[in-house]
Structure 1
Amino acid sequence: MSFFKQNSSLLSRSNDLSNDIEENIKKIQEYFCHTEDLMQKELLFSNHKCVILYLEPLVNKELLQSSIIEPTLEAKESEIEKTVRAAEVKRTSEVTESGKNLLDGFCLILLEDDPQAYLASVGGIEGRAIQEATNERSVKSSYDGFVEGFSPNLQLLRVRIKSPQLKVKYFTIGNISNTKVGMVYLENLANRELIDEVERRLTSIEMDQLYSAGELEELIEDHPFSPFPQILATERPDRVVSYITEGKIAIIVDGNPRVLVVPITFFSFFQTPDDYNSRWIVGSFFRLIRIVSFIIAISLPAIYIAIVSFHSEVLPIGILYSIRTSLEFVPFPPLVEALTMLVILELLKEASVRLPSPIAQTIGIVGGLVIGTAVVDAHIVSNMMIVVIGFTAISSFVAPINEMGTSARLLGFPTMLAATCFGFFGIVFVLMIIFMHLSKLDSFGSPYFSPFAPFKKEDLKDSFIRLPHWKLNTRPTDARPVFTKQQGRTRGWKKK
């Protein structure tokens, strides 16, 4: 930190531009440590020496030629601001501001005997085209997703919310990276205390570099040691828009295809845009399936361990005989079986993620079949354990947001340990601790387990189930929006 303070103090002594164009060029070059991608082009403008400086990787050279260089050579005006054809032209007399704008894709125009520098926007970095979100696929919703560029992501929100109340607030985080971060919300709807709290947390961050939304998420969340995610990170613009219109705040990090949403509740991680594009009965059914799958992912291996170790009398004699037969030649206790298979599952998952797609599919299918058959034939695990772990894995992958599925698999380990020691009593105790923890959690001052803790009857209609659209005439209150009543959800016709 002392290096940056010392460097900034040295810059402050010579931060102002002067009438000497050569001296100004030298200051800009020193600001960028004489980097070789800082390009310099000399021209004549109204019989005066003119120098254009730009960072080669950050500008569109065709745009630079057509909007800056050619108009300058064919100048009919005596003022540079009236000559260039850039979308944005501004002036400055500071070296620091000039350098920051060069990093944003501007070019710097210096004139002889002029203490002012002119900045023209010529940025045009080609990024990834907008395409479907790969991690949150949809059946009936839109097929566009966020990309790495800040402007395209903001554009995806603007085209969906065409309201003058949609407000964007910019922040710069990182002494080295100078990462652009945007806070997006509806001015007339978002709670002022929530806006101030998010702004306070963002401005209080001190670090050298910020490269991912995951880093920012960890820096601003309320309970970093909780296994549950308290900030929703999504690649879907339709999802972010729905939360913004509920009074929540979206945070865009430049260079990241995931947008953060705060505050958030536990049930939001099991909701998808498809729930609202299907009939309410269908949407509610699948939402309930997702929530039940979360409980299964946490407790199913533990229930199997408890039954085998302590409570075999709860099973019919036919099923019990089948389980006892499969366990006859297995030398390990059920806990070791479960841990072995869960570790193998995680290894296969990680290998599938890291490898190229064609190879990953082969590894996933062949590896699962071969290893599953081999461990059973070798009497390392039983047939029933393979079924239990397979069902558990599928249940953990049902959650639309990957972080919640990972949390369920992690919570399965202490549940299995408790089941090994105390049977069903241990499972009930761990589940009780988990739900107590959920009831205590909060996200930016909003209760995480709302609408159950605290209980809010009005919010139940869009939590673990979804009522028809014409019943959803109020917004959820977890974000404390200014207006809870919303319009446009009434049926204007009546049956005759």
Structure 2
Amino acid sequence: MVSEDSVVLTTNLDENIMILREVFVHSEDFMVDYTSYQNKDSFLIYLESLTDKKLMNQEILKTIYINNEKDKQNTLPQAFIKETNSIKEISKFILEGNSVLLKRDDSLATVYQSQLINERSIEEPDSETIIRGAHEGFVEALGTNIHLIRKRIQNPRLKVKYFSLGNDSHTKVAMIYLDHLANKKTVTKMEEHLAAIDTDFILAPGHIEEFMSDNFSIFPSMLSTERPDRTVANLMDGRIAIIADNSPSALIAPVTFFSFFQSPDDYNSRWYFGSFIRFLRIIGFLITIGLPATYIAIVSFHFEVLPTEIVFSIKSSLEYVPYPPLIEALAMQITLEILREASIRLPNPIAQTLGVVGGLVIGTAVVEANLVSNTMIIVVAITAISSFIVPITEMGSSIRLLGFPFMIMASLFGFIGMSFFLMFVIIHLCKLESFGTPFFAPFSTLRWAEMKDTIIRIPLPYFKNRPKDTLPQKKKKTDN
């Protein structure tokens, strides 16, 4: 295997071809086609699996044949990129789908653009549907995703910086921010994190997030979205976006806890309806982590908090259940997670059938078999519905996991155990940071003026300042 880092082309054509064959380990999709260039033996080299043959014939070979007798200035096709003698650079261009022309008695290779482009059409992402607003989502092509952002922010100060991550995969990654808004220290910190990633391959933004995260918290430190409008809104607040090639999502940083409960629909609707939906999401978060634990605590320790009639009803449904409420709750929650995961992996028609039939059959059967109480079925159903109200999938997964330690603490110590664990979670949230930004702001920073876009959303005319948590260079939204 040839190390191409410091190797350059020579004037020996056969030797140059042999070096490139060894670089690509004699792969069978490595093509070497003979042609003639200015009456000299030449070879067009490319990877068949990455090259558009039609484009190569029309833009490269046809132009070379037509102008074969003319001087060099006129023989450059429109697809011409550059000339180079670096084996490393030539290999990089070939791996991107370009074609390289090697000529006899010439130590310079000519690179032509000939990538095979297979893009799916732009459509709305299934995981982030909205009622009002643009129905466009990111696709797997990095250039198209940057186009969707630039189309919405027509500002020359929108900056795009490219990185190549993965020692073997060489994944192209773009860091995007507004140069006059994003905090310089945050930009530098994220550049250092990206440059410090040392691994063989990067296949998705999820890999980048794990390498860049400063903590191992259950809560995500970066927001993942497939929506260009959500990405643009965060860029306008002074945040930074990271987009990887071959992935239809963007990572946003720095973020706060309440960023995961915001949706474009909140701002496309009237402020009072947007505030109501935002408040429902926060309530859904509390129900998801706390309702099963509250049921366990009441049944195990605190019957006195319920009216007598309800106590008798719950007691009668629990009379024949042979194990404690914690086992009952854990069994139903784990069963629900299994059903959820199975419905995701199956084709849509089968998944819908599995969800409805599985839920009804299992729910009815376990109650009739006296394995689970009727009340627990209701609790689990409400918890499951509440977990789906969070707009960002990663936060929804974190919330569901957080419910399990709450149930354990409730079964051991009742409401006292729940209170102590809730205090621990709040302290943890206050301690967390996302690239220098307090994760639980504005509550942890006690900036009451910024509550206008947390649990509720006030009318848009009152959003005169950008969030202070990102430390933007320009605080007022009216500044140019």
TM-score (norm 1): 0.94
Structure 1 residues 366 and 477 mapped into 2: Cα distance closer, same or farther (>3 Å)?
same
Q: Which residue of 2 aligns with 1:146?
A: 138
- Would you say the 8 A contact 1:77–1:83 is kept in 2? no
1:341 is the counterpart of 2:332 = yes
Q: CA deviation at 1:117?
A: 0.6
List alignment gaps of at least 5 residues for structure 1. 1-6, 490-496
AA of the residue aligned to 2:374: N
Separation in 1, partners of 2:262, 2:444 = 19
Q: Which residue of 2 aligns with 1:201?
A: 193
Separation in 2, partners of 1:77, 1:147 = 43
Q: Which residue of 1 aligns with 2:22?
A: 30
Separation in 1, partners of 2:470, 2:374 = 47
1:191 is the counterpart of 2:183 = yes
AA of the residue aligned to 1:135: S
Name the SS of the counterpart of 2:403 in structure 1.
Answer: helix
AA of the residue aligned to 1:85: Q
Q: CA deviation at 1:38?
A: 1.2
1:379 is the counterpart of 2:370 = yes
Q: Which residue of 2 aligns with 1:369?
A: 360
AA of the residue aligned to 2:129: R
1:137 is the counterpart of 2:144 = no
- Would you say the 8 A contact 2:64–2:75 is kept in 1? no
Please, what is the CA RMSD of the aligned residues? 1.5
Structure 1 residues 118 and 270 mapped into 2: Cα distance closer, same or farther (>3 Å)?
same
Q: Which residue of 2 aligns with 1:402?
A: 393
1:330 to 317, 321, 335: 321
TM-score (norm 2): 0.97
AA of the residue aligned to 2:116: G
1:106 is the counterpart of 2:76 = no
Q: Which residue of 2 aligns with 1:4?
A: none
Separation in 1, partners of 2:4, 2:112 = 23
AA of the residue aligned to 1:74: I
Separation in 2, partners of 1:84, 1:317 = 87
1:279 is the counterpart of 2:258 = no
- Would you say the 8 A contact 2:243–2:249 is kept in 1? yes
- Would you say the 8 A contact 1:81–1:89 is kept in 2? no
Separation in 1, partners of 2:42, 2:60 = 12
Structure 1 residues 111 and 448 mapped into 2: Cα distance closer, same or farther (>3 Å)?
same
Q: Which residue of 2 aligns with 1:241?
A: 232
AA of the residue aligned to 2:293: A
AA of the residue aligned to 2:354: I
AA of the residue aligned to 1:182: A
Separation in 2, partners of 1:42, 1:312 = 86
1:59 is the counterpart of 2:51 = yes
Deviations 1:305-325 (A, max 9, x none): 111111111111121111111
AA of the residue aligned to 2:183: N
1:170 is the counterpart of 2:172 = no
Separation in 1, partners of 2:117, 2:344 = 28
Say how many residue pairs are matched: 479
- Would you say the 8 A contact 1:102–1:108 is kept in 2? yes
- Would you say the 8 A contact 2:5–2:87 is kept in 1? no
Name the SS of the counterpart of 1:41 in structure 2.
Answer: strand
1:18 is the counterpart of 2:10 = yes
Larger CA deviation: 43-52 vs 323-332: 43-52
List alignment gaps of at least 5 residues for structure 2. none
Q: CA deviation at 1:457?
A: 2.6
Q: CA deviation at 1:124?
A: 2.6
Q: Which residue of 2 aligns with 1:222?
A: 214
Deviations 1:183-238 (A, max 9, x none): 001111111100100000000111111111111111101212x1111110111111
Q: CA deviation at 1:141?
A: 2.0
Deviations 1:439-467 (A, max 9, x none): 11000011000111111133211122111
Name the SS of the counterpart of 2:470 in structure 1.
Answer: coil
Q: Which residue of 1 aligns with 2:452?
A: 461
Deviations 1:106-157 (A, max 9, x none): 1101122211111111113202221111111111121111111211111111
